[in-house]
């Protein structure tokens, strides 16, 4: 492995976690992150930080840098030969208190092996409990601007990838309004791919704090909270059934509490729930599909 590359990338991700946590504490206006330091048997470890605050009901910002021998299940999942590896990155999931504020997920990560194989991955996606079309369009336009600074085909390529990845096949609906998702990125070269991963990571705070400010004081009632719990249930289903990051963490002997920090504080399932026709809830479900040109929508 290239110590020069990997050490600078690890340092960057550790500092990114610090910067994001400071910004989220300020935005929450009351909450403070709890930090747990952990070590992975076999090599490496991380810092798990969880906030249970005034505006963010449960938010996790994880940093990890794990290394050592690649476990066989993880090697099979990644379709690589077993051998020494390093995996590092930052992963975030925020579950807000107010149902009008969307759930957000972001991660940026780097992987390398001693045989010279390396790549970057990551992305950002938005899961509103209630889809606000103008805000979803704004979110995608911001991501498109980030992507366009690096390559004109990044946004359409990674937007479609997110539509496919964040899809609950057993429900035939997307997890939310999508975003971007990329993996095994090696272009244009290591420095260029790292620059793109940095740009994605640093876009997180302005994106989410804007959405938080726009929605955190909107009124809501018991009906909205019930719907929020049901949508959180869908989030749980995706993370436990389909998410490859969850499986990779468990297969490599990661810390279970840190891997599952993405789960909400409270979720619900109601048998065969069907929202009333033309309700806010029904209109939200109608938007949970692949292929919506969010960045190109003509919104007020």
Q: How far apart are CA 169 and CA 33, in angstroms?
A: 34
Query: In the numeric block, which tokens belong to residue 185?
Result: 């990125």
> Is 105 designated active site?
yes
Would you call the peptide bond into 188 cis, given omega within 30 degrees of 0 as the criterion? yes
Q: How far apart are CA 170 and CA 134, in angstroms?
A: 28
Q: Are 200 and 13 in contact (CB under 8 A)?
A: no
Instruction: Considering the candidates 5, 95, 105, 150, report the single residue annotated as catalytic.
Output: 105
- Region label for 232, one of left (φ > 0), alpha (ψ between -120 and 50) or beta (otherwise): alpha
Which neighbouring-strand residues pair with 35? 49
Give the residue ranges of DSSP H helices in 149-294.
154-165, 190-215, 222-241, 244-251, 256-259, 280-287
| DSSP assignment string, 67-83 | EEEPPHHHHHHHT--S-
How far lies 279's CA from each of 12, 217, 223, 268, 283, in Å? 45, 22, 11, 20, 6
**Catalytic annotation, residues:** 105
């Amino acid at each position: 492995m290239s110590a020069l590359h990997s050490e600078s990338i690890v340092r960057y991700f550790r500092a990114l976690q610090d910067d994001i946590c400071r910004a989220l504490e300020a935005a929450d206006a009351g909450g403070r992150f709890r930090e747990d330091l952990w070590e992975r048997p076999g090599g490496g470890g991380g810092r798990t930080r969880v906030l249970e605050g005034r505006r963010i009901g449960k938010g996790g910002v994880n940093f990890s840098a794990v290394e050592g021998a690649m476990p066989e299940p993880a090697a099979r999942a990644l379709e690589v030969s077993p051998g020494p590896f390093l995996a590092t990155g930052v992963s975030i999931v925020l579950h807000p208190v107010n149902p009008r504020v969307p759930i957000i997920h972001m991660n940026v990560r780097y992987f390398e092996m001693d045989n010279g194989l390396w790549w970057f991955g990551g992305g950002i996606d938005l899961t509103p409990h209630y889809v606000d079309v103008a805000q979803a369009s704004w979110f995608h336009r911001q991501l498109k601007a980030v992507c366009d600074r690096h390559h004109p085909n990044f946004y359409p390529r990674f937007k479609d990838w997110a539509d496919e990845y964040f899809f609950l096949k057993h429900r035939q609906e997307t997890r939310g309004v999508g975003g971007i998702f990329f993996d095994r990125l090696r272009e244009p070269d290591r420095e260029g791919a790292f620059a793109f991963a940095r740009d994605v990571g640093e876009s997180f705070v302005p994106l989410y704090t804007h959405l938080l400010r726009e929605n955190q004081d909107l009124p809501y009632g018991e009906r909205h909270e019930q719907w929020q719990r049901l949508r959180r249930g869908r989030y749980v289903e995706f993370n436990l059934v389909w998410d490859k990051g969850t499986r990779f963490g468990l297969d490599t002997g990661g810390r279970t509490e840190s891997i599952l920090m993405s789960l909400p504080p409270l979720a619900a399932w109601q048998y065969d729930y069907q929202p009333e026709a033309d309700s806010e809830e029904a209109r939200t479900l109608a938007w949970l599909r692949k292929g919506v040109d969010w960045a190109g929508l003509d919104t007020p």
